[in-house]
Amino acid sequence: MDISADKKIDALRRMWLIRFFEEAAIRLYGERHYRGSTHPYIAQEATALGVCAVLQPKDLVLATYRGHGAAIAKGVDPRRMMAELLGKATGLCGGKGGSMHMSQVDLGFVGSNAIVSGHIGIAGGMALAHQLDNDGVVTVCFFGDGASCEGVFYETLNMAQLWKLPLVLVVENNEYAISTHYTQSISVPFISQRAQGFGLPGVTIDGRNFDAVAQTASEAVERARRGDGPTLIEAKTVRWSRHSAVAAGGAGSAAADRWKETDPIPRFRAELISAGVLDEAEAVELEQAARVEIEGAVEFALASPYPELSALTEDIYA
């Protein structure tokens, strides 16, 4: 696995896009520009970028409601995402999906899903479809530590290994499922150990380390592509202060800001500078350009119209 300098710079750029997108999403929620909720991917950026850096455009990604990061990592336009968040007609899904139901299939971003673990079974089904088509497409499914306690996770591991499906399961262990710490709900120290019961490889890595994520994902994706079956990757992260923009699951103590100590973005930035991939001035410029791009996305979303009433009966399956 060899990731080019350009690809690494683009990964850093997208980490900033995700961070600024999420900060703007929290602010706009507080200002009541949209309803419902939003689940920030802050502090987990290196995992989505590390995995997506080794995917081909045709490969598929499924994510949870905490899915803005995976979408931007797979190449989705933040402007259309911001408009979707605000329920605008120019949004990715015409403003009908909102924060938790974004999708752009032509980019391989199958979508985000509000049902905890609901998309794990769907990912297994998509991997089966592509195995039958024999088209070399690999399906990647991101989900949380809490989702790994749901029955469909085990059913999918079993059938995916039995049928050697081209599937990569990435459990982002950000330590909390709302307010439940994973040590209160998971009987083994590492979620990756759960793969052993089904006979597939399971590995735990530092999800804040871009290179470690990319290396491990590359092996899992190649294994899936050559027909050797699924891999379970546990990417360890530390969740941002709260579960969502609605303050549920706030740690309410010094623990809330613990993510800052392990923030993947300054770390990746420093690594690229010390490796000579970019210099300090270029890094400042890259960050500023990402900030300006997200400010533009906010302006675009705010200025966009809401859908026409007639759109209500479009996109309906009956």
Ligand X SMILES: Cc1ncc(C[n+]2csc(CCOP(=O)(O)OP(=O)(O)O)c2C)c(N)n1
Point out which residues bind ligand X (CB under 6 A). Answer: 64, 66, 114-116, 144-147, 174, 176-178, 239, 243
Question: Which residue's C-beta sits nearest to ligand X?
Answer: 144
Please, what is the minimum distance in Å from the beta carbon of residue 19 to ligand X? 16
Please, what is the minimum distance in Å from the beta carbon of residue 288 to ligand X? 29
Please, what is the minimum distance in Å from the beta carbon of residue 283 to ligand X? 29
Q: Whose Cβ is closer to ligand X: residue 24's or residue 147's?
A: 147
Please, what is the minimum distance in Å from the beta carbon of residue 26 to ligand X? 15
Q: Whose Cβ is closer to ligand X: residue 78's or residue 144's?
A: 144
Q: Whose Cβ is closer to ligand X: residue 79's or residue 243's?
A: 243
Q: Whose Cβ is closer to ligand X: residue 35's or residue 276's?
A: 35
Q: Whose Cβ is closer to ligand X: residue 103's or residue 148's?
A: 148
Answer yes or no: are the C-beta atoms of 222 and 214 closer than 8 Å. Answer: no
Please, what is the minimum distance in Å from the beta carbon of residue 175 to ligand X? 8
Q: Whose Cβ is closer to ligand X: residue 111's or residue 144's?
A: 144
Please, what is the minimum distance in Å from the beta carbon of residue 171 to ligand X? 8
